[in-house]
Homo-oligomer: A and B are copies of this chain.
Amino acid sequence: MPQRKRSLYVCVNRRPDGTPKGSCAARGAVELHARIKTLLKERGLAELEVRACTSSCLDVCWVGPSIAVEPDHYVYGRVQLADAEAIVEALAAGTRVERLVLEPRDFELPRELREREKAEKPG
């Protein structure tokens, strides 16, 4: 099989329950990755077009579950299992699901979490 035209990296990082940031796995990312993989196969995209991998933390935990789409280099955030169809259909059409694409401000740790992390840091 040749290198696929696109790669999806679905963050499946899991943090301990109760962590302020939360984590993608705790929000259903493992099931989301499995669903996308199934849909890509059914749609005939898995062989040549798109490979869906899991990845470690993409550093946008507060807007997870998150998926990096490469080489386009945009990131989907707040992705729900019900969004899998739209994501795969957009890949088939060569478009994006704009409502899920993270904006520059989404990459910044929210102030509330920043202050909480600072307060909890020992020393």
Interface size bucket, A side?
A: 20 to 34
- Determine whether the beta carbon of B71 is less than 8 Å from that of A3: no
Write 6 A-B pairs (CB below 8 A) sorted by A numbering.
A1-B107, A3-B102, A53-B58, A54-B55, A68-B70, A70-B71
Is A51 close to B, CB under 8 A? yes
Binary flags per residue of A22-47, CB closer than 8 Å to B gives 1, else 0: 00000000000000000000000000
A51 vs B56: C-alpha distance when bound (angstroms): 11
A3 to chain B, nearest CB (A): 5
Report the 10 A-B pairs with minimum CB-CB distance, sorted nearest first: A71-B73, A70-B70, A71-B71, A54-B56, A53-B55, A55-B55, A53-B56, A3-B107, A2-B107, A70-B71
Residues in chain B near residue A58, CB distance under 8 A: 51, 53
- Determine whether the beta carbon of A53 is less than 8 Å from that of B9: yes
- Determine whether the beta carbon of A72 is less than 8 Å from that of B75: no
| Pick from B51, B54, B70, B71: contact of A59, CB under 8 Å | B51
Residues in chain B near residue A72, CB distance under 8 A: 71
- Determine whether the beta carbon of B7 is less than 8 Å from that of A68: yes
A47 vs B57: C-alpha distance when bound (angstroms): 14
A58 vs B57: C-alpha distance when bound (angstroms): 17
